Amino acid sequence: MEGSTESLVAARDFLSSGIEQSRALGLELDRTGQRLGEMILRLPSLESELGPIPRRMCATLSIEDRVDSGIRPANAVLQVFNAVRELEASLSLTPASDLPTYLSILRNLEQALKFLGNSCQLAIQWLQGVAEFLEENGMASERLVSNVNKSLIILQELEGTEERARRNGGVMHDAFRKMEAELERLLKENSIPFGLNSSDEDYEKTFPKPVIQHLQAIIERLSANRRLEKCVSVYVDVRSTNARECLEPLELDYLNEPFEDVQNIEAQIRKWSEDLKFAVKALFQHEYGLCNKIFEQQGTKISLRCFAEIASRSGIFTFLQFGMRVTDSKKSPNKLLNLLDIFLILDDLRVDFTRLFGGEACEKIQAMTRHLVKRVVEGSWEIFWELTYQVELQRQSPPPSDGSVPRLVSFVTEYCNRLLSDVYRPTLLQIMVIHQSWKQEKYQEGLFTNQIYNVVKEIGLNLDTWAKAYHDQSLSCLFMMNNHRHFSDLRGTKLGDMMGDSWVRAHQQFRDYYAALYVKESWEKISAPLRENSARVSFHDARKKLVSFNKALEETYKKQSDWSVTDVKLREKVRASVMEAVLPAYQDYLQIYRTMLDGYACWRDEIKYSVQELEKMIGSLFETKMRKLETGTRYHAIDDLPNVLTNNQFSLTLTAA
C-alpha cells in the first residue's frame, strides 16, 4: 500500500503543478481518542470537495480549471487515506489496556474506510472526466494523459482498502481477533464455579455491571461486522465449561451407571431430584439471566439460543435420560413409587422448565421432557391398575408354614398406606387425571380409592383361600387370628381411615374370635380328658390319661413352638388363654391323681410336670420362632422387598411365606 501512495502522490504533484494546492484537511491528528474523534468529524466536510459538478459546467471551464477540478478530489482522497493510516497505527494497543478507546478507534476506522471507498469512487469519476476531455480535445501531451490514467489505477486500488483490511491478516481482521480474544478473556476471568449453598448475591458478583457493559460493547461491535456467530461460539464454550465445573461436586457419574437393585434406584432417584433441582433453579436460572443480559441488544432469539446450547452441553439431557432409564426398568410395585418420585420433582420444576426452556431454541429439551412425562404417567397408571390382578395371581401360592402374616399382606397394606400418604396420593391423583384427559375422558371421582378397595378385597379372598389350605385346623385359626390382628392394627393409618372404623372393629372381633377358636381347637382338646369326672376312674385309667396328656402336651408344644405370633400383646393374651384352658384342669387332675398314688409310689414319676413347670412351658410358647425373628430373618419392610410380586408380565415375587 506504501508504493501505491507514493505513486498517487507523484501523480497528484504532476497534475497540480502550478495550481494552488487544495485546502488541508485540518490540524494534525493527535494520538488521543479525542483528536481521532475530531478528525472523523472533519472527514465528511471533504464530501463538499468531492460533490458532483454538472457536466455542462465543464464546457465553460479552461483547461487549467478542468485539470484542477479533477485534482481536488484526488487530493482529498489522500488526506482521508492519511487519516486511515493514523487510525490503523492507533490500533496497535490492546483492548484490555483501554477498551472504550479501542472500540472508539475501531468504530472511527470503520467509518474512515467506508468514507475512503466512497471518496475514491467520486475521485475516479472526476479524473475519468478529465482524461476524456483531454483526449477528445487533443490539448494535452501523451505524458499528461498517461499520468492521469496511472492516477486512476492508483485510486481504484485504494478503493479496495476496506476489503483488504477485513481479509485475513488485514488490520480490521486483526482488530476483530483481538476483540474476540478480549471477549474470551473477560468471560473466563469472571466465570467462577459456584456451589450448592451460593446465594443470588454470589451469582451477581461473578459478573459486575462494568464487566457486562464491556462484554455488550464488544459483542455489539463484532455483531455490526457480521461476527456475531463467533461471539456466540466463544460465549457458549466458556459458560458451558463453567456450568460443568459447577456440577462436578455433585458427582453425577451415577446418572449413567446401571441400576443394581431397588434400594440403589431409590437412593439414586432421591439424589437425582436434589441435583436436578439445583441445576434448574440455581445453575440454569443464572445462565438464563446472564444470557439475556449479555445479548440484550441482539434480542431474545440469540440469547435463548446461547442458553439452550449451554444447558445441552452442561448435562440437561443426561438428567432427563436418567428418568427415561427408570421408566425402562423392570415393572414392579416399587417402580410405581419411583415413577411418582420422578413426576413429583418434574411437577415441582414445571414452572421453571416452562420459563427457561419454553423458547424455540429449546425444542429438543421440550420434546424429551414431554416424552419423559408421558412415560412416567403411562407407566404409573399401568402398574397401579394391575395391582389387583397381581394380588389375585398369588392366590395359588402356599400360605406361611408358621401361620404368620404373609409377606404379600404386610407388603400390600404398607404399600397402600404409602400410596395414600400426603406425598403420593395427590401425585397419583394428578397422574390419573392427566391420563384420563389424554384418553379424552373425564376423571371419575373415587376411581383412586375404589382401586385401593379392590386391592384390599383381593387380599381378603387370598386369606380365605390360604386358611383352607392348612391341614391343621388350629394352625388355620392362628393364621386368621394373626391376619385379622394385622388389619385391626391399621386403625389410625391412611388405609385404616379410608376403609373406615367399622371395618377395623370387624377385624378386631374376628381376631378375638379366631384366638378363642385356636385355643379351643388345640389346647382345650388336650385338656378336655382331664376335665372328665375322675372320681370313679381306676388308678390305671387315671395314669393312662396322664400319660396321654403328657404326650399330647409335648407334641403340641413342640409343633407350635415353630408357629408365629409376632404381636407382643396378642402373644401374651393367647398364652394367658392357653393357661386358662389347661392349668386349672391340670391342677385339679393332679390332686385327684396324687390321692390315688398311695400304694403306687412307683408311679409317682409319671407326674412329669408340676403346675409351675407347665405354666412356665406355656409361657414360653412361640419363643422358638420369636428368637429366630429377632435374629432378623423375618422382618421385611417395603423397601426391602424389591421382588415382592412376580409373574411373566410383572417380574415380581410375592411369595406368601
pLDDT at position 290 is 95
Domain count, the chain: 3
170 vs 581 pLDDT, higher one: 581
- Give residue 540's pLDDT: 79
91-105, 313-327, 378-392, 522-536, range with the lowest pLDDT: 91-105
Instruction: Give ∠ CA 626-631-637 in degrees, rounded to 5.
Output: 90
The answer to whether residue 461 is domain-embedded is yes
**Is residue 380 included in any domain, yes or no?**
no
Res 340: pLDDT: 97
- State residue 640's pLDDT score: 38
Q: Check pLDDT > 70 for residue 246.
A: yes
Question: How large is the C-alpha radius of gyration of the chain?
Answer: 49
pLDDT at 107 over 80: no
Last residue of a domain, one of 327, 349, 374: 374
Is the pLDDT at 56 greater than 80, yes or no? no
Q: pLDDT at position 281, please?
A: 94
Whether residues 474 and 555 fall in one domain: yes
Which of 27-41, 166-180, 310-324, 524-538 is predicted with the least confidence, judged by mean pLDDT?
27-41
Q: Which of 72-76, 346-350, 354-358 has the lowest mean pLDDT?
A: 72-76
Structural domain contains residue 485: yes
Are the CB atoms for 396 and 647 separated by under 8 Å? no
pLDDT at 641 over 50: no
CA separation for the pair 30, 36 (Å, rounded): 7
- The answer to whether 583 touches 614, Cβ cutoff 8 Å, is yes
* Residue 13 included in any domain: yes
Kindly state the DSSP code that residue 620 receives in the 8-state scheme: T
Residue 73 pLDDT: 64
Range of the structural domain that residue 147 is part of: 2-166
Same domain, 367 and 407: no
What average pLDDT does this structure show over 533-540? Answer: 68
238 pLDDT higher than 80: yes
82 shares a domain with 20: yes
- Among the residues of 329-362, which ranges form H helices? 333-348, 350-357
Cell of 365: 429439551
What pLDDT score was predicted for residue 254?
Answer: 93
pLDDT of residue 88: 62
Q: What is the pLDDT of residue 150?
A: 72
Say what the pLDDT of residue 126 is.
67
How far apart (Å, rounded) are the C-alpha atoms in residues 478 and 127? 120
The predicted structure's pLDDT at residue 146: 67
Judged against a pLDDT cut of 50, whether residue 21 lies above it is answered with no
Most confident range, picked from 54-58, 144-148, 378-382, 644-648? 378-382
CATH code at position 185: 1.20.1280.170
Looking at residue 48, its pLDDT comes to: 45
Is 379 within the bounds of a domain?
A: no
b vs e for 621-652, b when ≥16 Cβ sit within 10 Å of the residue's Cβ? Answer: bbebbbeebeeeeeeeebeebbbbbbeeebeb
Q: 3-state class of 190 per DSSP?
A: helix
Separation CA 134–CA 155 (nearest Å): 19
| DSSP output for 43-70 | GGGGHHHHS---HHHHTTS-HHHHHHHH
Within-domain flag for 122: yes
- Closest by CA to 346, choosing from 317, 321, 320, 364, is 320
Residue 582 lies in a domain: yes
| Domain co-membership, 188 together with 287 | yes
Q: What is the mean pLDDT of residues 289-311?
A: 95
Instruction: Identify residue 100 by its one-letter amino acid code.
Output: P
Rounded to the nearest integer, the mean pLDDT of the chain is 79
Task: Identify the residue whose cell numbers are 410405581.
Answer: 336
* Domain finish residue from 343, 374, 405: 374
Same domain assignment for residues 189 and 238 = yes
Average pLDDT over residues 631-642: 40
For residue 265, give the H/E element and its range.
Answer: helix 262-278
Residue 6 lies in a domain: yes
Sorting pLDDT into bands at 50, 70 and 90, what band is 478?
Answer: very high
- Are 576 and 524 in the same domain? yes
Please give the residue that has the higher pLDDT: either 332 or 606. 332
Mean pLDDT to the nearest integer, 334-343: 95
Share of the chain above pLDDT 70, in %: 67
Q: What is the pLDDT, as a whole number, of residue 591?
A: 84
The set of cell numbers assigned to 502 is 367399622
DSSP reduced 3-state for 258: coil
Q: What is the pLDDT of residue 495?
A: 97
- Residue 287: Cβ within 10 Å count: 22
pTM of the model: 0.75
Is 19's pLDDT higher than 50? Answer: no
Q: What percent of the chain has pLDDT over 90?
A: 51
Q: Which of 18-32, 236-250, 573-587 has the lowest mean pLDDT?
A: 18-32
Residue 598: the pLDDT is 61
Same-domain status, 140 and 232: no
The single residue listed with the C-alpha cell 410395585 is: 333
139-169, pLDDT tens digit by residue? 556 666 666 667 676 666 666 666 666 667 6
Indicate if the pLDDT at residue 386 is higher than 50: yes
- Looking at the fold, whether 157 and 209 belong to one and the same domain comes out as no
Residues 12 and 85 in one domain: yes
The per-residue pLDDT for 597 is: 64
Among the listed residues 506, 482, 339, the one whose alpha carbon sits nearest the alpha carbon of residue 403: 482
Final residue of a structural domain among 122, 137, 166:
166
The amino acid at residue 287 is E
User: How much is the pLDDT for 160?
Assistant: 61
461 and 606 together in one domain = yes
DSSP helix/strand/coil, 580: helix
**Pairwise pLDDT comparison (305 vs 34), residue with the higher score:** 305
Q: For residues 53 and 50, what is the distance between their CA atoms, to the nearest angstrom?
A: 9
**Candidate from 253-267, 333-347, 551-565 with smallest mean pLDDT:** 253-267
Residues 618 and 512 in one domain: yes
Residues 568 and 439 placed together within one structural domain of the fold: yes
